[in-house]
């Protein structure tokens, strides 16, 4: 999934400014780092939870003023489907970790002539 880190001004309405793309998965990614910190035993299988603040901190961001946003339909032309990441739950086994992600809808299937979510969110 194409996650993006944004600076957020919490005025009404919230204003988002693109910072950079953000990789959160992978064996050495922030979710793996958070899981390892919580699984001190280490036990398998192991259930865990991470908040957006924890993930933003793990990628070197500022949780108090930054958020992670995902474009759920990045290849669909003229469609903007942006969701703010709220929480991630994982259940880690020795070889893989299924995840559940909780989102807040920012734009759900918004018809727009722009081709990129970055164009809409700037």
Among residues 105, 56, 54, 59, the alpha carbon closest in space to that of 84 is found at: 105
HSE-up of 55 (CA within 13 Å, CB side)? Answer: 25
Q: Tell whether the model's pLDDT for residue 115 goes beyond 60.
A: no
Give the start-to-end residue ranges of the domains of the chain.
3-121
Nearest-angstrom CA–CA distance, 42 and 92: 11
Residue 88 has a pLDDT of 97
30: number of Cβ within 10 Å: 22
Q: Residue 34: helix, strand or coil by DSSP?
A: helix
CB 76 within 8 A of CB 49: no
Q: Is the dihedral of CA 71, 73, 77, 79 positive or negative?
A: negative
- pLDDT tens per residue, range 14-30: 899 999 999 999 989 99
**pLDDT category of residue 112 using cuts at 50, 70 and 90:** low
């Amino acid at each position: 999934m194409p996650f993006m880190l944004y600076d957020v001004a919490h005025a009404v309405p919230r204003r988002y400014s693109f910072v950079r793309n953000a990789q959160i998965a992978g064996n050495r990614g922030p979710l793996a780092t958070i899981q390892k910190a919580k699984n001190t035993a280490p036990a398998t299988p192991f259930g865990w939870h991470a908040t957006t603040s924890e993930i933003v901190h793990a990628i070197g961001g500022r949780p108090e003023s930054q958020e992670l946003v995902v474009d759920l339909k990045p290849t669909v032309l003229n469609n903007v489907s942006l969701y703010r990441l709220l929480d991630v739950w994982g259940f880690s086994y020795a070889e893989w970790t299924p995840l559940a992600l909780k989102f807040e809808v920012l734009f759900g299937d918004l018809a727009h002539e722009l081709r990129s979510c970055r164009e809409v969110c700037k």
